[in-house]
Amino acid sequence: MRVKLWMFVILACAAVPAAAAGEKAAGKVLDYAALGKVRTYCVDTSNLKGPVLPGDVPRPDEFDVRELVKRESGPRGLLSKLPWKLEADCSAPGVDATVRFEFRVILGPGDAAVGLETPLFAMYPQRDEFRWRVELQVTDKVSTRVDYKAEGNPVEPRLLPTGNQGIPAGEPLPYVEAKVQRYHELRQDAAYHALAALVSDVKTISKDPL
């Protein structure tokens, strides 16, 4: 009887930190122990092959992630608060984890996400119910197991601050260019919030390891 009681106490005590950590998490921590052991990471953009819209740069999704990483690697950026070392090359020896971003579009009042295989100008000309979403994943470099997930949404989902109409036929080029630039802003904003969730959760785990 005493053995059973002690086993129950031990299991209950072990469950308390995990539950508390789960309540604090801004994202979804799938493996606390693995995430707590990460010291070196890289950002892999090989999966980002979204469509190129008129007047846009090649591989725009990859461009936005790289711009975000470059901007947030500064002294006051988000990545400076992450207690991990960033490696530019994912094939470098000693890389513990890989960070990937995946962009989705939310269409309509629901929460269903769609991929980006079709240019959005043609797919969804009305902008009233249009939102970007990004999913960030941290995977173990060796096993490729996903240890962490987080989602990010832009604060201001509208394509243009001055309106949400689509692009009518024959619209002037400056307007089209403004739409393309707004896409970059929205993607980077969504990715920023997913990255902020990761930084917050890693800092929490580092202070209170399980």
pLDDT in tens, 31-44: 999 999 999 999 99
Q: Is the dihedral of CA 209, 18, 191, 99 positive or negative?
A: positive
Residue-wise pLDDT for 174-198, tens only, equals 656 777 888 888 889 999 999 999 9
The rounded distance, in Å, linking the Cα atoms of 184 and 203 is 28
Lowest mean pLDDT among 9-13, 112-116, 163-167: 9-13
pLDDT above 70 for 22 = no
Q: pLDDT band at 15, cuts 50/70/90? A: very low
Higher pLDDT pick, 23 / 91:
91
> Which is nearest to 134 in space by CA: 189, 200, 184, 97?
189
Question: What integer best gives the mean pLDDT of the chain?
Answer: 77
Tell me, yes or no, if the pTM score tops 0.85. Answer: no
Contact (Cβ atoms closer than 8 angstroms) between residue 136 and residue 197: yes
Higher pLDDT pick, 199 / 161:
199
Give the per-residue SS3 of 42-93.
EECCCCCCCCCCCCCCCCHHHHHHHHHHHHHCCCCCHHHHCCCEEECCCCCC
Which value, in Å, is the radius of gyration of the alpha carbons in the chain? 21
Higher pLDDT pick, 188 / 207:
188
Total residues belonging to the chain: 210
Higher pLDDT pick, 17 / 47:
47
- Domain with 35 in it: 2-207
Instruction: Report residue 134: phi and psi, to 5°.
Output: -130, 140
Provide the β-strand partners of residue 140: 97
Higher pLDDT pick, 38 / 1:
38
pLDDT on residue 172: 54
* Arithmetic mean of pLDDT, 66-73: 95
The rounded distance, in Å, linking the Cα atoms of 101 and 147 is 14
Q: Give me the number of domains the chain comprises.
A: 1
pLDDT above 70 for 173 = no
pLDDT on residue 115: 52
